Amino acid sequence: MTQLVTMMLGDTEIGIDVGTVEDVVRLGRVTRVPLAAPWIAGVMNLRGHVVTAIDLRTRLGMPPAPQGVRPKCVVVSIGGDSFGLIVDAVDEVINVDAADCRRCPATLDERWRQVSSCIVQREGGLLVELDIGKIITPDRFFMAA
């Protein structure tokens, strides 16, 4: 059984292993980094630490968040570096049984499939569990969407 932090990207519910999440903060001032991949929103100051902000919507080929959404930043640590995943909202921590996990269907959008580890069946619908390591895999840097 694993625990996931659930969050929203548009109408899609996604989850990240709770063990990898270090912090959830409001999205602060982000300094754009020229030449970086489009899904890298920039760098931001999180209480004296520099966090690289990832625009998950762009990463997954979604349109920018509509007006009125106050994005949240989920801070995770990957390979010693801190990243902030920008999402529309953060909901709760849920317990997931291995039995509820399904392989990602072949019909899932390629960009989603690259970063998802499984689909979780929940009462309210489906949830995509993201593998944060895959969001920032080195070989992806050079083939930025």
Partner 1 sequence: MDDLLPEFLSETAENLQIVANELVRFERDPSDAEVLANIFRLVHTVKGSCGFIALPRLERVAHAAETLLGKLRDGELQANAAIVTETLAAIDTIRQITHSIGVDGKEPEGDDGKLIERLDRLSRGETLCAPNPEATGNAGDIGASRDEGSMANQSIRVSVTLLEELMTSVSELVLTRNQLIQERRATGSTDLDLPLQRLSAQISRLQDSVMRTRMQPISGAWNLLPRIVRQLSVDLGKEIDLELEGGDTELDRQMLELIKDPLAHMVRNAADHGLEAPADRSAQGKSPRGTIRLTAVQEGGHITLTLSDDGRGLNFGRLREKAVERGQMSPAEAAAATEAQLARLIFAPGMSTAAEITQISGRGVGMDVVRANIERMSGTIEVDSSPGKGTRFSIRVPLTLAIMPALIVGVGEARFAVPQMAVAELVRTGDHGGHRIEMAGPVPVLRLRGRLLPLLHLGEVLQTGGTDSDHVLVIRGGGTQFGILVDTIFDTEELVIKPVSRPLSALGVYSGNAILGDGEVIMILDVTGLAEHLGDSAIEEPEEDEEEACEAALAKDAMLVFRAGGQPHPRAVPLALVSRIEDIEHDRIERSGRDHVVQLRESLVRLVDMAAPYAPPDGGRQTALVFASRDETVALAVDEVVDIVDAHLALDMTSDDPAVLGSAVIDGQATEVIDVSYLLYERYGGRSGPPRAGKGGRVLIVDDSPFFRNMLTPLLDRAGYDVTSAASVDEALSLRDAGEPFDLILSDIEMPGKNGMDFARAIRAGGEWTKLPLLALSSPAEQDDMDAGLLAGFDRYVTKLDRRRLLALVDSSMSRKDKAA
Q: Which residues of the chain form contacts with partner 1 (CB under 8 A)?
A: 29, 31-37, 40, 42-45, 48-50, 52, 79, 81-83, 136, 138, 141-142
Smallest distance from partner 1 to CB 131, Å:
16
Whole-number Å distance between alpha carbons of 44 and 52: 6
Pick the closer one to partner 1 by CB: 119 or 136. Answer: 136
Q: In the bound complex, what is the minimum distance in angstroms from residue 111's beta carbon to partner 1? A: 17
Helices (H), the chain: 56-59, 110-115, 132-135, 138-141
Nearer to partner 1, 92 or 139 (CB): 139
Please say which residue, 14 or 136, places its beta carbon nearer to partner 1. 136
Phi-psi region of 3 (alpha: psi -120 to 50; beta: other; left: phi over 0): beta
Please state the closest distance from residue 15 (CB atom) to partner 1, in A: 23
The full 3-state SS of 77-112, as one line of letters, equals: EECCEEEEEEECEEEEEEEECHHHEECCCCCCCHHH
Smallest gap from residue 89 Cβ to partner 1 (A):
25
